[in-house]
Amino acid sequence: MPDTRAIEALARLKQGNQRFVQDKLESATGLKAGWRQGLLDGQQPFAAVLGCIDSRAPVELVFDVGFGDLLVTRVAGNYVSSAVVASLEFSAVGLGVPLVVVLGHTRCGAVRLTLDKLESSSAQEPAHLQELIDQIGPAFDAYLKNADESQREVAIEKAVGLNVRSTVRKLATASTAIAELVQKRELLIVGAEYCLETGKVQFFTDED
């Protein structure tokens, strides 16, 4: 069983996302007098999220959280790099969050670009963008070889999930410090996907 703090954090994110889906956001409007002052002595975020930079997937809004609640790292295609690992070590080791969520989303442009590049022999992208493609690509290379071209959009949606799962696996072993926390069950890393169409976040730990 994971840390009960991780379970509670997961529940809090699910409740926040439910409010978001129902257009009942509270966090941005429910600020009490003196809230800014209350943040000056430190922070006690309850979870960390690795999301995509996509402008349609703003993490704090999607989970209806406010100032001081989440440590958010956003990088195109939510893939693992040393900068991402450093931020998550800071989150888990430095600030002791019990939960890291890797949040992909439907219609992800980084995933679409990677699929396009895997299938075409066009010129390379700029070096750092090519690095993104090289990092994400292996997550669904095998799947793609069997993909039906007429089902292109289905392939992209499937690839989003595969990329999230790949990132979860890589993160768990990307750092000795993180691996130890996971092994001691003091840190839970879970994948999730934000659906642009409905606003709902599907966690890969459950069926709802």
| Contact positions vs Zn ion (CB under 5 A) | 52, 54, 108, 110
Q: Is 56 helix (H, G, I), strand (E, B) or coil?
A: coil
Q: Where are the beta strands (DSSP E) in the chain?
A: 47-51, 70-74, 99-105, 188-194, 201-203
CA 112 vs. chain centroid, Å, equals 17
Nearer to Zn ion, 99 or 110 (CB): 110
The least CB distance from residue 107 to Zn ion, in Å, is: 8
- Could you tell me the smallest distance in angstroms from the CB atom of residue 50 to Zn ion? 12
CB 173 within 8 A of CB 179: yes
Specify the residue, 54 or 64, whose C-beta has the smaller distance to Zn ion. Answer: 54
**Nearest-approach distance from CB 57 to Zn ion, in angstroms:** 7
Shortest separation between residue 72's beta carbon and Zn ion, angstroms: 14
Is the CB of 83 or the CB of 196 nearer to Zn ion?
A: 196
Question: Is 138 strand, coil or helix?
Answer: helix
Task: Give the span between the Cα atoms of 167 and 44, in whole angstroms.
Answer: 25
Q: State which residue, 111 or 188, has the beta carbon closest to Zn ion.
A: 111
